[in-house]
Structure 1
């Protein structure tokens, strides 16, 4: 039995992964953005080992969330599932990219730095990282004209780079990256072409399986098949530069 914390687990892939892991007998810590979303979990709350609450777009709440998780005792696996895509036609430019950066990159970084080090770490990226901009200039888009799609692509490249950096710096932790595909979740939309079940089974497998392939660190996975991302993500120099920039933006250094 493993104790597994999943961010963004009130719906979509996070909730699906939680249900599978609970059915397999694991202890699962669920995460909701606010008390209202936590209430939406209903009977699932009774099955969970715990429910923690915090808005990942807020640095203060994200750090408080890490404290809530640590108070529950040691976690074996963290699945950094939460992520957002913001439609620029619906959200003002001024708040759009800072939220994308905060939820998709800064939050996984802060939680990695401040949750007691687990045995396994899983980061959810996307095939759209291939279109990410491998630059650390103006990450919060204060100088550029904001693009919701480009912001999302960039964030998925950066979180994959973070995952590779952690896997390299923490050899005692099994760290992996998952591309769940374009699946018909609330974010993916009804036109998504990938299978919803296949979208979450890889992270479930990596979270707790004793199979040899699931216990090797530094993999980039799509439907349980290992792939290679664009070179920037696996470049140690780019990884170290990203960690320095995330430290500057958050005031928190990765141990």
Structure 2
């Protein structure tokens, strides 16, 4: 049994991931922006805990990390929360995973949600701070962050996952990919299965793929981490 945090777990892939983990007997802590979104019967009772906070607000991201600290060291953290069309896209999709990673005790396993759309993202990191970032940009950056964290700390692995274009509220009813497969790779990576590569993989439906070249470029990773450190005032360590 593992202690696992899933961010953005009130709906969509985050909810499916959290439910699958709980069904398998794991202790699941869910993060939600608004606890009123937990409306299902027994929706709160089945969780080890519920953490609340708006990941579009830096002060609240810090508070989410503080709340998470009350549970001790997690076995896995799944950075699932994301937005598609929002002026907060870089904060929610990139800055929040960075800050939570930097501020929390390092888990055994880190899993970051990417997207196939990261392949058309920009490497212009000025967009992180000036409000012009696109969803594609933010997913390139979080993919690079995931791979930058790989093998960074002894005892911690890190992977990025493309869940596919699935019919969630974000993906839309007409999305062609398999909804069930959309969360299965995250569950698999978070629960300690032997995988190859052991860290630093970019995954789609439990198979590795080659991400955007910048995501694997150590120089770009270093520039990204440096810019995130400058913006937040928090070192990745």
TM-score by length of 1: 0.89
Which one of the candidate residues 165, 172, 183 is aligned to 1:200?
A: 183
Partner of 2:160, secondary structure, is strand
- State the 1:248 CA deviation: 1.0
In 1, distance between residues paired with 2:31 and 2:196? Answer: 24
The residue aligned with 1:115 is: 104
- State the 1:185 CA deviation: 0.5
CA contact (8 A) 2:157 2:200 kept: yes
Q: 2:159 aligned with 1:160, yes or no?
A: no
- State the 1:215 CA deviation: 7.4
Deviates more, 1:170-179 or 1:39-48: 39-48
Q: 2:172 aligned with 1:189, yes or no?
A: yes
**Aligned-CA RMSD value:** 1.4
Q: 2:204 aligned with 1:253, yes or no?
A: no
**Could you list the runs of 5+ residues in structure 1 that have no partner in the other structure?**
87-95
TM-score by length of 2: 0.96
In 1, distance between residues paired with 2:127 and 2:13? Answer: 30
- State the 1:138 CA deviation: 3.1
- State the 1:137 CA deviation: 2.4
Partner of 1:202, secondary structure, is helix
The residue aligned with 1:227 is: 209
CA contact (8 A) 2:129 2:231 kept: no
The residue aligned with 1:174 is: 157
- State the 1:136 CA deviation: 1.3
For this pair of structures, how many residues does the alignment match?
A: 237
Moved over 3 A (4+): none
- State the 1:135 CA deviation: 2.0
Which one of the candidate residues 129, 136, 143 is aligned to 2:118?
A: 129
Which string of whole-angstrom CA distances, capped at 9 and with x for unpartnered residues, describes residues 112-136 of structure 1?
0011110000000000011001221
The residue aligned with 1:139 is: 128
In 1, distance between residues paired with 2:197 and 2:33? Answer: 30
Q: Which has the higher helix share?
A: 1
Equivalent runs, 1:1-255 vs 2, <5 Å? 1-37=1-37, 39-40=38-39, 42-86=41-85, 96-97=86-87, 99-142=88-131, 146=132, 151-210=134-193, 212-213=194-195, 216-255=198-237
In 1, distance between residues paired with 2:70 and 2:175? Answer: 38
CA contact (8 A) 2:151 2:157 kept: no
